[in-house]
Amino acid sequence: MNDGRFSAGSVALAFLLGGAVGAGLAMLVSPRSGPETRELLRTKADVARDEAAKVADEVKEKAVELLEKSKEVVETKKAVVESALEAGKEAMEREKERLLAKLKKEQEAREAAEQG
């Protein structure tokens, strides 16, 4: 069921890869000194870590929602199957009683024919 949106996992991966590429490029082309560059990279890494944690939480929430919806569907389908099974048992019992009554009637008719 793809409605044109990207999954949280692919967004997180793209974000992390983009952050890594950006950090590498920043080190290569940065006019800053070593300590300034390291501080900037630390800050960017913290932002990336926070964003990754946020995406991970969103993925977890979606998984929990999906699990709950799945449980609801299973319960609904289970109720339908149980209802159908019960209806089948009742129909079988009615047919059994009908056939037993028919056999009894035929047996009585045969016995009456033999005696008479």
**Does the pLDDT of residue 27 top 80, yes or no?**
no
**Threshold 0.75, pTM exceeds:** no
* pLDDT band for position 3 (cuts 50, 70, 90): low
Q: Is residue 91 part of a domain?
A: yes
Average pLDDT over residues 101-114: 92
Average of per-residue pLDDT across 8-22: 76
pLDDT reported for residue 2: 53
Q: What would the pLDDT profile of 34-65 be if each residue is shown by its tens digit? A: 788 778 778 888 888 888 888 889 889 999 99
d(CA 8, CA 14): 10
26 falls within a domain? yes
Q: Domains in the chain: how many in total? A: 1
Amino acid (1-letter code) at residue 30: S
**60-84 pLDDT per residue, tens:** 999 999 999 999 999 999 999 999 9
Residue 3 lies in a domain: no
> Would you say residue 2 lies in a domain?
no
The boundaries of the domain holding residue 71 are: 8-115
